[in-house]
A and B are shown apart, each in its own frame.
Chain A
Amino acid sequence: MSSFISHFKAWVAAALIVVFAEGALYALYQPNPIDRTNFLQFAFSRAEPAQRLFTFHKIRSFEHANPTIVQSGDSSGFYGIDPRIVMTHLPSDVTYLNMSCCANLGFRGYYNILEFMAQRNPSLRYMVLYITTYTMPRPELWDADGANLWGPPGLEVFGKAIYTEFMGPWTILHLPSLGFRRQVTNFVYYLGPLVFNVGSQIKGVRRSVGEAADQDESDPPVDILRSATNSPEYSDFLRMYRKTRGWMPESDQRGGVYAVECDIAMPRFFDFKTMSYKTYLQEVLDGFADLASRYKATLVIAFQPVACFPGAKNAEARTIVEQFKRSHPDVEIPFPLIETWPADMFSVPAHVRHEYADRVGDRLGKAMAAIVARRGY
């Protein structure tokens, strides 16, 4: 037996060292569990996608914020809904948090964020799914992860990662040392300050965080300086974020937004539970309703105003939403699927211009006030 164990002496010693080192790190620094994940890439010479950074810092900042209402969804809500405006309509002890990020999260991501917040915040009474008709449910936004939707190559749907890294069973393997990955990779990949300094002299910090969010294909993927996370504007950005409870003013390049008929595709799949075809929209709405009832919260589905208008190309989607509303009296849907606003109020089809953020905030605030008054909190 002892000779059997002697063959594993090195493994036992390594395990003991790991336990000791990790225990010491934990005792000395107590790294935040959100930092102790693999959610951010910290890859060699590649910028962290801004979408991941936004999501990461929202989760890190607001994990235990104890809100009454949490909003999740695509970038229409991220740039559109300023919680401070919404809260002016609500009772003083009702708090609102904007956890929306972007369609790159996918509906699975919006779902996971709501569940994550519900697990950690017993105060949560309302889950707001805030979306635009431009990013309605489809396979790659619900079932799959990793699809490249738009934007810079390599920026993929990553909603499942919220579950894997912050909620899944493997989080028990997130050692304290993972919390130091950024510092270690900075040191090894860039020899600490040496390459940073050389790089700064040669190139300067080329991109601010805002620009990183809008980087396009012409932007080379070389990012030795980790410009997003190491730029001086970054801490300003985080401070603002916390002050606004998750809102960011839109800073899109102005493109043409035109008033055309909304074209909403309704892809289907065969549902083995009901042995019939079902649209992804139905599946997603059902899923969110189940989630809310599981956490004894009220689901509020809010649609962002759009520049496009109702018509035959979106009739099916509107019918599905109406049917869902009738069959789920426990779910609140305060606005129609398509509420047309003048096209010049939009920076891009999915985003209301920042100068109109107060109008979108007021719109939702009034609706939430009515709901809260009716249902309590």
Chain B
Amino acid sequence: MQFNSFSFIFVFLPVTLAGYLLLRKTRFANAFIFIASIFFYASSALWYLLPLFATALLDFIVGQYIADSKDDRFRSHMLWLSVVANLALLSVFKYTTWLTGDLSRGLAVYGIAFSPITLALPPAISFYTFQSMSYTIDIYRREFKPYRSVIDYLSFVSFFPHLVAGPIMRARDLLPQLARIRDLPSASKVSVALFMILFGLFQKTVLADNFGLIVESIQRLIPVNGLTPGLGLVFTYAFAFQIYCDFAAYTTIARGVARLFGVELIRNFLTPYFSSNPSEFWSRWHISLSSWLRDYLYIPLGGSRDGRLMTLRNLMITMLLGGLWHGAGVFFILWGLWHGLLLVLYRLLPIDSIVVRHLGRLGKLLSIVIFFHLTCIGWIFFRATPEQFMPIVRSIMELPGAVASIVIAYEPYLGWSLIIHPWTLVTILVGMVKGFVSANWTFSIYCWGLLLFALPLWITDYLGWRKQGEFPDLFEAMSWPVRTVAILVLLYGIIFFARREANEFIYFAF
């Protein structure tokens, strides 16, 4: 079931909420949430439940054994069982198709026929395996005591607001909230939660999906006529905004919905494109995954304890595996390596602080712009197929030439225009723009579209960034007339501009 569907918003959510409120003070409340979550998750395919239950029940049992045992060897064996089983399950579903596909192509070179194995990927498997693994690891580390109620545990793993695309919640953060009888959320919390849901729906249906339309349209041009100068850049920007709006929207809706049930989910995004360096970016982008990787991979690998070289190695390994977590394919690995490289280079040369020291606020702005573009390079790896990669890069490289050709064409008139009359200059500049638009029509159209949909994103993110939060956080501080306007703008934005073709959240595929 999708957050951006009528059946979720007008049936599932109200019914589940009503049921929860009725049962809130009884021991059936979590059982009810669990059943609702299962319905939410398996409404499109029942078999999705098999890997979910396999992971969850194994980790529940292993967690009990680890907690009850004083034998360190046994505890360690049980932990390995959990980690290996989870990663094996994840790998089978996630990488079999890719690896056997490559193997098949490789063997075909030698004349050996081998049919690749195609496995459907159950949604959310990357999220719940990581979440479930953190449960056993925390128990093993004695940082968390297991809960004896299997229903409480299952409702933690399957809690529907965050099940499909995160945030990846740790048991120690979410289980205690679910296991107790929670107070009714206050009126102000409910009001903010509703605004978060509305804003998330706007981000998804109006912004992310329309950026997606631009991305898909440009991708379709590649095999037909190739890309004209600059279209690759529009593609890159559009995808950067699409993936952010799409994923942030899911989290925002998830957090809003969870609040209605009296549960606080952690923040997963914090205006990441205002980051001025890679370290800051990863503390603002997919925060629950980056902190998971830090706590359960980077630090166990040694973190920054064993000298600079080992630190750099650990960073590269962590980011490489982070890339692989996102998807099966060489380009996902390259994306992870790219971010690993950025982190390593930043450790060696913290360029933004140097720029800020010399240029002040302008330096900060410059750092943000530069780092945004470095992030965008990573997104090309993330979205483009190997066949699309070079046409996109080529199109980006050709943009300066296209601009220069127009400037050169008008250059003889520019000097004279100043002598004749200043207005002549304006006319010539307008002519240059028209000339450019005429010569680069497709590029100009998509630029316009990009600007159109990016404007609300820039405004809302800038307002959030100024207050060290996200846009929905500002809702409480607004006066009620401003709130009313904000609600109406978002609502009518959705009514008029939401993309009508059904679009799943991108992170459902991870």
A188 cross-chain contacts in B, Cβ below 8 A: 452, 496-497
| Given A10-B483, A18-B491, 14 additional A-B pairs, CB 8 A | A4-B187, A7-B188, A11-B487, A13-B481, A14-B491, A43-B499, A45-B446, A45-B449, A154-B216, A181-B495, A185-B496, A198-B437, A218-B224, A220-B221
Distance in angstroms from A145 CB to nearest chain B CB is 9
Q: Which residues of B contact A (CB under 8 A)?
A: 6, 10, 186-188, 190-191, 194, 210, 213-214, 216-217, 220-221, 224-225, 437-438, 441-442, 445-446, 448-449, 452-453, 478, 480-481, 483-484, 486-488, 491-492, 495-497, 499-502
Question: Which of A172-180, A232-240, A319-327 lies at the interface?
Answer: A172-180
**What separation, in Å, do the CA atoms of A43 and B486 have in the docked complex?**
23
Q: Which residues of A contact B (CB under 8 A)?
A: 3-11, 13-14, 17-18, 38, 40-46, 146, 153-154, 170, 173, 175, 177-178, 181, 184-185, 188-189, 195, 198, 202-203, 217-218, 220-222, 224
Choice from B214, B478, B484 contacting A17 with Cβ under 8 Å? B484
Q: Flag if A10 contacts B480 (CB, 8 Å).
A: yes
**What separation, in Å, do the CA atoms of A261 and B334 have in the docked complex?**
51
Given contacts A10-B480, A38-B500, A173-B6, contact A45 B191 (CB under 8 A): no
Q: Flag if A11 contacts B194 (CB, 8 Å).
A: yes
Q: Flag if A221 contacts B221 (CB, 8 Å).
A: yes
Choice from B213, B481, B483, B495 contacting A44 with Cβ under 8 Å? B213
Q: 10 A–B contact pairs at CB < 8 A?
A: A7-B186, A8-B187, A9-B483, A10-B481, A43-B213, A43-B499, A45-B213, A181-B495, A185-B496, A222-B446
B484 cross-chain contacts in A, Cβ below 8 A: 10, 13-14, 17
**What separation, in Å, do the CA atoms of A46 and B499 have in the docked complex?**
11
| B489 nearest in chain A by CB position | A14
Q: Flag if A221 contacts B437 (CB, 8 Å).
A: no
**What separation, in Å, do the CA atoms of A55 and B113 have in the docked complex?**
46
A154 cross-chain contacts in B, Cβ below 8 A: 216, 220
A3 cross-chain contacts in B, Cβ below 8 A: 187
B186 cross-chain contacts in A, Cβ below 8 A: 7
B478 cross-chain contacts in A, Cβ below 8 A: 10
Choice from B217, B446, B488 contacting A14 with Cβ under 8 Å? B488
Q: Flag if B487 contacts A178 (CB, 8 Å).
A: no
Distance in angstroms from B436 CB to nearest chain A CB is 11
A170 cross-chain contacts in B, Cβ below 8 A: 6, 10
Given contacts A17-B484, A18-B488, contact A202 B502 (CB under 8 A): no
B224 cross-chain contacts in A, Cβ below 8 A: 217-218, 220
Q: Flag if B190 contacts A7 (CB, 8 Å).
A: yes
| B5 nearest in chain A by CB position | A170
Choice from A14, A195, A220, A224 contacting B225 with Cβ under 8 Å? A220
A189 cross-chain contacts in B, Cβ below 8 A: 449, 452
Distance in angstroms from B202 CB to nearest chain A CB is 14
**What separation, in Å, do the CA atoms of A216 and B18 have in the docked complex?**
51
Distance in angstroms from A131 CB to nearest chain B CB is 26
Distance in angstroms from A1 CB to nearest chain B CB is 10
B188 cross-chain contacts in A, Cβ below 8 A: 7
**What separation, in Å, do the CA atoms of A175 and B488 have in the docked complex?**
14
B491 cross-chain contacts in A, Cβ below 8 A: 14, 18
Choice from B191, B452, B496 contacting A184 with Cβ under 8 Å? B496
Choice from A11, A43, A220 contacting B500 with Cβ under 8 Å? A43
**What separation, in Å, do the CA atoms of A198 and B433 have in the docked complex?**
12
| A44 nearest in chain B by CB position | B449
Distance in angstroms from B237 CB to nearest chain A CB is 15
| B448 nearest in chain A by CB position | A195
B453 cross-chain contacts in A, Cβ below 8 A: 44
**What separation, in Å, do the CA atoms of A218 and B220 have in the docked complex?**
10
**What separation, in Å, do the CA atoms of A221 and B218 have in the docked complex?**
8
Q: Flag if B187 contacts A46 (CB, 8 Å).
A: no
Q: Flag if B220 contacts A221 (CB, 8 Å).
A: yes
Q: Flag if A41 contacts B452 (CB, 8 Å).
A: no
**What separation, in Å, do the CA atoms of A178 and B495 have in the docked complex?**
7
Q: Flag if B492 contacts A177 (CB, 8 Å).
A: yes
**What separation, in Å, do the CA atoms of A206 and B186 have in the docked complex?**
58
B6 cross-chain contacts in A, Cβ below 8 A: 170, 173
**What separation, in Å, do the CA atoms of A185 and B453 have in the docked complex?**
13
Q: Flag if A220 contacts B452 (CB, 8 Å).
A: no
**What separation, in Å, do the CA atoms of A64 and B297 have in the docked complex?**
66
